[in-house]
Amino acid sequence: MRRSLYDGLQNKIRKLKTPVIETWKNQYPDRDYEIKIDIPEFTCICPKTGLPDFAAIVIRYIPDRSCIELKSLKYYTIFYRDIGIFNEHVINRMLDDLANACRPRWMEIVGEFNARGGIKTTVRAEYGNRSSV
């Protein structure tokens, strides 16, 4: 079996050091409103083949006291270009990092990964309970 440069990394995903995601103060914490962020050109590396994976990622959240600063989010997503990570792991890791940064009332991240070998993968992860918002 061919070894990959990324062997073993999947066991360390939760400990992976990523760029800081900055936030700014929400001036309307008394109101529920949804923020939607589209990232149409996300890339990471397939940990099995070493080839690039391409995805469109949509982040939706209802902020509480802070909102995600977009420039830092851009640098955060660029970081993954050189990381060998499974599709499922990248979406869940992003959810952990973004939710920890801004502590939203609710957040959902959906990654639609381009078809490879005739198989398209969509991964959806959620923080909080939208029905309780």
Please give the pLDDT value at position 130.
75
User: Catalytic residue among 38, 44, 53, 97, which?
Assistant: 53
What are the pLDDT tens digits along the chain (133 aa)?
A: 445 556 666 777 788 899 999 999 999 999 999 999 999 999 999 988 889 999 999 999 999 999 999 999 999 999 999 999 999 999 999 999 999 999 999 999 999 999 988 999 999 999 998 776 6
User: Catalytic residue among 46, 64, 96, 97, which?
Assistant: 46
Whether residue 10 contacts residue 86, with contact meaning beta carbons closer than 8 Å, is answered with yes
For residue 5, what are its two tokens?
């440069």
- Does the active-site annotation cover 53? yes
Check: pTM over 0.85? Answer yes or no.
Answer: yes
- Does the active-site annotation cover 46? yes
- Kindly list the domain boundaries of the chain, sorted by start residue: 9-132
Please give the pLDDT value at position 1.
43
Which CATH fold would you assign to the domain 9-132?
Answer: GTP Cyclohydrolase I, domain 2 (3.30.1130)
Please give the pLDDT value at position 31.
96
The CA angle 64-69-75, to the nearest 5 degrees, is: 140
Q: Which residues of 84-119 are buried (b: 16+ CB within 10 A; e: fewer)?
A: bbbbebbbbbbbbbbbebbebbbbbbbbbbeeeeee
Strand residue runs (E) in the chain: 23-25, 35-45, 52-62, 66-68, 106-116, 119-127
Please name every residue paired with 54 in a beta bridge, in sequence order, or none if there are none.
Answer: 43
Please give the pLDDT value at position 58.
98
Cβ-Cβ contacts under 8 Å for 5 (sequence gap 6 or more): 50, 84
Whether residue 90 contacts residue 76, with contact meaning beta carbons closer than 8 Å, is answered with no
